[in-house]
Amino acid sequence: MSSSAVKEQIGNARFQNALTRRAQPTPPIWLMRQAGRYHKHYQALRQKYSFMDLCKRPELAAAVALGPVMDFDFDAAILFSDLLFPLEALGMGLEYTDRGPQLGWNLDEQTLAQLRSIDDAWPHLLFQGEAMRATRDLLPSDRSLIGFVGGPWTLFVYAVEGSHSGSLVESKKLLSLFPEFCETMVPLLRRNIELQLDAGAEVVMIFDTAAGELSPDIFTAEVAPQLQTLTAKDVSRIGYYSKGTQAAHLRHPLFISGGLAGVGVDSRWDLSEALDFFPQGFVQGNFDQALLLCETNDLKQHLERYLRPFANQARPGWICGLGHGVLPGTPEDNVRLFVDTVREVIQ
């Protein structure tokens, strides 16, 4: 058998069917933040190593990513890393404390010029390609692998404010700096996407968790053009997830007919409507992640109501998951119940 034939067999059939919108009775399951603080496997590694070590040492990043796939039988793994590393690469500094990620300084009119050049920043991101290759080597051949980067707007928000909570007043006041910021950030992210695809990712997600704080008109005028530039080369292998956005934000041709691999939606969307709204590519989502902390009987009722519209029908393009990431403190048994119930009801 040729090496190309072997390569073509790598990946999860259900996940690849969803990417190509082949109708199938049971959707693939992948949860954002499925490798994280709720999981004993992660907790055990975290007792021995810093978060930075888990991200930057390829063998550790691969071990973290593999853990939940093997424990909960997810159809896909995702690169274990953090979306803020491009800011660190650009010279903003980054450390992780009990208060969360801390940048060395904030972006404003004066400090924008302090960002490193793309060529100087690029070597500081190569570890993600190594982590991706290590994960693909460790992952069973029948599981898929996803990469990710942060959205330019979300990274801008972090650079300006140090977090992405609240109304983002400072970021909106400095909106005029966003295009200049993107002159450096977007080409750097584009290299990062290509790195991850070359290292084994089947699709790379853009996570834009701050996008929903923008009005649809500003999102369309300022953010969507940067996303078009970012995705132009590899558009069919890139997905986009945004938190808090509505149909009015995502009517842009990039999301409706622009050739993206797919779109992730949060739990504010009706999933049936989302599957109809995005006629191309996959739709990923969108069970409310907070409900995974319910008592067992309550969770079963929530899941059955959520899944009922999709029983006994093959919906093309659905990647079953949550509206956002798995929350700390989520019981592992509830994650197993989620996976088992989806596969029992949707078959």
**Tens of pLDDT along 96-146?**
988 889 999 999 999 999 999 999 999 999 999 999 999 999 999 999 999
Per-10-residue mean pLDDT of the chain, 347 residues long, equals 49 97 95 97 97 98 98 98 98 91 96 97 98 98 98 98 87 98 98 98 97 97 98 97 97 94 97 94 96 98 95 89 98 98 88
Q: Give the tokens for residue 302.
A: 């929530």
Secondary structure string (H, E, C) spanning 234-278: CHHHEEEEECCCCCCCCCCHHHHCCCCCEEECCCCCCHHHHHHHC
Q: What is the CA radius of gyration of the chain?
A: 19
The pTM (predicted TM-score) of the whole model is 0.95
CA distances 26 to 22, 217, 279, Å, are 11, 37, 19
Q: Give the CATH fold of the 3-345 domain.
A: TIM Barrel (3.20.20)
CA diameter of the chain: 59
**Residue 105 · residue 171 · CB < 8 Å:** no
Residue type, 113: A
Where are the chain's structural domains? 3-345
Query: Which residues pair with residue 97 across a beta bridge?
Result: 100
Average pLDDT, the chain: 95
Distance CA(313)–CA(25), nearest Å, equals 6
